Amino acid sequence: DAKTTQPTSMDCAEGRAANLPCNHSTISGNEYVYWYRQIHSQGPQYIIHGLKNNETNEMASLIITEDRKSSTLILPHATLRDTAVYYCIVRVGGAAGNKLTFGGGTRVLVKP
């Protein structure tokens, strides 16, 4: 699986949009971009995933560049409960045995 690069940490203000970048310059054509987050002492929570089109759900939006070498996760209105470690992962889709490989993630602190 391709490797991803994320900032180690970032702060954002409560109520404002949080934009989390991720670089995946070696992504292959059959690899999806997944985002998970992990709140302290809990299992990771699925946020969103996409292949090449931008995606939006009730939690977040995922913007993937046209060359697919980078993406941005957008939390539209950050709350204190969004404080967590956010992981950007690329993974081959289409087979149940395709594992998720976690990098260091971005530690996001939402401040009042």
* Site for another protein contains 112 (CB under 8 A): no
Choosing from 42, 53, 67, 81, the residue that interacts with another protein (CB under 8 A) is 42
Q: Say how far residue 110 (Cα) sits from the centre of its chain.
A: 16
Region binding another protein by CB under 8 A among candidate stretches 12-20, 22-30, 33-41, 69-77: 33-41
* Site for another protein contains 29 (CB under 8 A): no
Residues 6 or more apart whose CB falls under 8 angstroms from that of 95 comprise none
Choosing from 27, 44, 70, 106, the residue that interacts with another protein (CB under 8 A) is 44
CA distances from 72 to 33, 48, 50, 97 (A): 10, 11, 11, 26
Choosing from 29, 67, 81, 96, the residue that interacts with another protein (CB under 8 A) is 96
Task: Report phi then psi at 81, rounded to 5.
Answer: -75, -10
Choosing from 2, 10, 21, 32, the residue that interacts with another protein (CB under 8 A) is 32
